[in-house]
């Protein structure tokens, strides 16, 4: 009789974990069978080459070298939920763009936000346009420029066109949003699977202990 209570406790815990395993497997099946990010409007990378995409990190880095010798580097990751548009891409993308002229250490850095506006249209807003003395000039004391929203509207428009002529237009933004959402979905499924594997191992031990 003294062993009945601990045995029942282990058995009850194992049953609870089996219920959790069923829910985890159901969520994995749902994600694998869903077609949320299989849109036909996949956009285009616009000659950008994927330079960094680790399965363990949230960000990606793309780069291209223009015929003029100018280099454009982009780092991006998903940000918060937007609760806007048609829900096809529920999260915004935080995008950092660096443009470097050949032979110069200085560069232009743009902090941007991209999101799906609705239908097949994407929204791309520049938050900051910074002048950097060099890629290593990250000291906050450097004057990098005024808030972008305070600039003359014509200047804001032309700076946005400046990026568009370097391949950062709606097609590229659609591609980037789709790529980042697919990446996050894959990482989520991988996380669910690891959680299921760990709980499954614990459940097996509890069942054997109760037997």
Instruction: Please state, in angstroms and rounded to a whole number, the distance separating the CA atoms of residues 211 and 209.
Output: 5
Give the residue among 44, 75, 33 at the shortest CA–CA distance from 178: 44
Contact (CB, 8 A) for 123 and 116: yes
This prediction has a pTM of 0.82
Contact (CB, 8 A) for 168 and 74: yes
Which pLDDT band, with edges at 50, 70 and 90, does 43 fall under? confident
Mean pLDDT value of segment 161-170: 94
> In DSSP terms, which residues pair with 116 in a beta bridge?
122
All residues at 6 or more sequence positions from 121 whose CB lies less than 8 Å from its CB, including other chains: 170
Mean pLDDT value of segment 183-204: 86
H/E stretch holding 15 reads: helix 4-33
The residue with greater pLDDT, 136 or 151, is 151
Q: Is 169 helix (H, G, I), strand (E, B) or coil?
A: coil
All residues at 6 or more sequence positions from 141 whose CB lies less than 8 Å from its CB, including other chains: none
* Amino acid 122: pLDDT: 87
- Over 80: is that where the pLDDT of 136 sits? no
Contact (CB, 8 A) for 211 and 22: no
Which pLDDT band, with edges at 50, 70 and 90, does 2 fall under? very low
* Amino acid 62: pLDDT: 97
pLDDT digit string, tens, across residues 87-124: 678 899 999 999 999 999 889 999 999 998 776 788 89
The residue with greater pLDDT, 200 or 7, is 200
* Amino acid 108: pLDDT: 94
* Amino acid 188: pLDDT: 92
Place of tokens 């990098």: 144
DSSP code per residue over 75-138: EEEEEEE---TTSSS-EEEEEEEEEE-TT-S-EEEEEEEEEEEETTEEEEEEEEEEEESSTT--
């Amino acid at each position: 009789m003294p062993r009945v209570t601990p045995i029942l406790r282990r058995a009850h815990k194992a049953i609870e974990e089996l219920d959790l395993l069923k829910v985890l497997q159901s969520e994995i099946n749902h994600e694998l069978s869903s077609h949320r990010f299989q849109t036909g409007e996949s956009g285009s990378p616009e000659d950008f080459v994927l330079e960094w995409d680790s399965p363990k990190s949230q960000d990606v880095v793309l780069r291209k070298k223009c015929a003029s010798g100018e280099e454009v580097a982009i780092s991006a990751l998903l940000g918060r939920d937007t609760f806007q548009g048609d829900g096809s891409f529920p999260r915004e993308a935080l995008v950092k763009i660096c443009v470097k002229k050949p032979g110069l250490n200085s560069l232009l850095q743009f902090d941007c936000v991209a999101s799906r506006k609705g239908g097949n249209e994407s929204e791309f807003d520049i938050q900051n346009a910074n002048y950097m003395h060099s890629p290593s000039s990250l000291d906050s004391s450097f004057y990098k420029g005024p808030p972008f929203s305070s600039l003359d509207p014509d200047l804001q428009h032309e700076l946005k066109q400046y990026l568009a002529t370097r391949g950062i237009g709606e097609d590229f933004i659609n591609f980037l949003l789709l790529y980042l959402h697919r990446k996050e979905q894959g990482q989520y499924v991988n996380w669910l699977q690891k959680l299921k594997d760990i709980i499954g191992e614990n459940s097996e031990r509890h069942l054997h202990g109760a037997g």
